[in-house]
Structure 1
Amino acid sequence: MKTEKFYDGVSSFYDDMISFESNLARREDFYKKIFNARGKTADLGCGSGLDSIALAKSGFDVTAFDPSEKMIESLNRKAELYGLDIESRKCRMENIPAEFDGSFDYAVSMGNTITHLNKKNLKEGIKRAYEILKPRGIFFLHQLNYDYFIKNSIRINSIKTGARIIVRFYDFSRKKARFNILEFAPEKPKDYRLYSVTHYIHNHEEIKAVLFKAGFNEIAFYADMNLTPFEREFSKEMFILCRK
């Protein structure tokens, strides 16, 4: 399934799956901590708008990019609800128009977005992230640490319970993973919906090399949003802070 179709499909329950409301305040606090001055910010792969809304509520001037029409619509509805002015564009990270070059103080790419990019598109996407930043601009991105998942034979990422059961799980191969979302009502488990999309596995060294090649010269890896040092064998996630 293409990335756009996958996220269009899960858009109706996506906010419940990621606990949108409960995570919003946490994201606001986090961005105030790592970006010590308000500025123009690009959200690359904005999804339903968790980071865009958090940033805009914190005083940042946000432009959001995502290839899913449904996700962009979800973001726009929230921006209107919160009374926020957020520009949105339907496009992939590697295809950001040249009109945005040198426009942003900050760029973020959260929610495991870069796993949707194959090796070639990852290089192009990171290059575009570099090009849209102003001199000394900061790029903050996130990806699961698949080395940890594969080493420990972990296939289930999360299980969300409630009116609907939502299970996120993986089928791993050497260079790719099939990311699956299974969704059903507890009383009718046979009436399930299953959505699947390819995730490309980029390890710590590969991401660092691509960032350096794009031009980023200060790169730090962390294990969580508390900026705990990253450990390849023990950290479930990678949070990467780099400067142009």
Structure 2
Amino acid sequence: MPVSAFLFAALVFVLAGMVKGITGMGLPTVAIALLPILLPTGLAASLLVMPSLLTNIWQFVRSPRCTALIKRLAGLLAGVVFGAVLSPLPNVSSASTQTLVLLGLALTFYGVVALVGWRLPHPGRHEWWAGPLAGVATGALTVASGVFVVPSVPYLQSLGLDKAELVGALGLTFTVCTVVLWFSLGVSPTLSANALWSLLMLGPALLGMWIGAALRGRLSDLMFKRCFLGTLIMLGVYTVMRAIGST
């Protein structure tokens, strides 16, 4: 990779990491939206592998009460695995444009209505079955579309977690989603060939996450909510645009 392309990619991952550090998500979306400006799409996608997986792990282990989060989200995570394995939907490599558009519209709609004050009610005593059900749906849609956030993010937001706990829960959930997606796709020669470049992008991504986390600590709960939901809307709009652009 030429030095200019490497520096450009590093700056993109710093920016993407900042978004993830503030809201707990959005690194792949920001990176894949900007990297193709100078890099081939295949290389751009392969650069996401290590930063996406390892920043999600790092995000989780830096969160408070990791053990408590694992116990509480065990049903959701098990559901993600079962949903991915048993999904009747076509693999992401052959997913229809309509599927991606519907997912993007659903995500955008949820972000907008939540921004004006609505969100899923707390599951309460129904959490024991609501979590696994949300996980099954998330796992199935993950392998079908490559989108992790429906319905896992609305469900996690309904649990009443504080900022730090929510960010950690997102990191844990997205880690499992990333792994099941990779298993569903198999090992790509392109990803393997660019593994070193992908690993080198981890540093800029972590730097961006550190900056974003510092900024998050200065945000009020209201401002964090606005940033979080604004990122959801951005993810939804981007999913729709990507689907339409691929036709």
Q: TM-score range by the shorter chain?
A: under 0.3
Q: Which has the higher contact order (CA 8 A, sep 6+)?
A: 2
More helix by share: 2
More strand by share: 1
TM-score, normalised by the number of residues in structure 2: 0.24
TM-score, normalised by the number of residues in structure 1: 0.25
